Amino acid sequence: MGNSDSKLKYQTTITEVSIIEIPRVHDERGILAVVEGDSIPFDIKRIYYLYDIPSDAYRGGHAHKELYQLIVPLSGSFDVKINDGRNNRVFSLNKPHKALLIVPGIWREIDNFSSGSVCLVLASNVYDESDYIRNFEDFLAFKML
């Protein structure tokens, strides 16, 4: 990818973060939700989840240079605060069939966890510390604002 392509990628905005409806099948036995194929815009390379989270805990507090993530509230509820360097938005997640797609170049913070909440994250790549931006001032510099 050329330098100009990379520069454009980092100019992502909160308008590119969206709720994705996960396809469901419902019958008398309950609901089956399925994430596969083209139901999300990336191949899944890593799956992790957060649970037993104290209600006053704070997670996230970083951005990614290349990574796409789909955040799914499997149980309970929590808030995802996003920032593109200029604008902020808060998504309150509480339905397991409505997931939040976060694109690269977006700062995120997760808090306000309800009792028993479980946060599932599907990621486009394996863990790579060099992909993280963990300081907000560094994030702003990365965004070249």
Domain that holds residue 12: 3-142
Instruction: Residue 48: give its domain's CATH number.
Output: 2.60.120.10
pLDDT, residue 37, reads: 79
Q: For residues 63-89, give the mean pLDDT.
A: 97
Residue 104 contacts residue 7 (beta carbons within 8 Å): no
By C-alpha distance, which of 99, 107, 50 is closest to 71? 99
Percentage above 90 pLDDT, the chain: 85
Q: Tell me 37's DSSP state.
A: G
Catalytic residue among 26, 62, 64, 97: 62
Q: pTM above 0.85? A: yes
Work out the average pLDDT over 114-140: 97
11-34 pLDDT, tens digit per residue, is 899 999 999 999 999 999 999 999
Q: pLDDT category, 10, cuts 50, 70, 90?
A: low
Total domains in the chain come to 1
Does the annotation count 62 as an active-site position?
A: yes
Mean per-residue pLDDT, 92-104: 97
- 53 touches 119 (CB < 8 A): yes
Q: Read off the pLDDT of residues 34-48 as tens digits, 9 standing for 90 and up.
A: 998 788 999 999 999
Specify whether the CB–CB gap between 91 and 139 falls below 8 A.
no
Rounded Cα–Cα distance for residues 28 and 65 (Å): 43
Looking at every residue in the chain, the average pLDDT score rounds to 92
What distance in Å separates the CA atoms of residue 59 and residue 126, rounded to the nearest whole number? Answer: 19
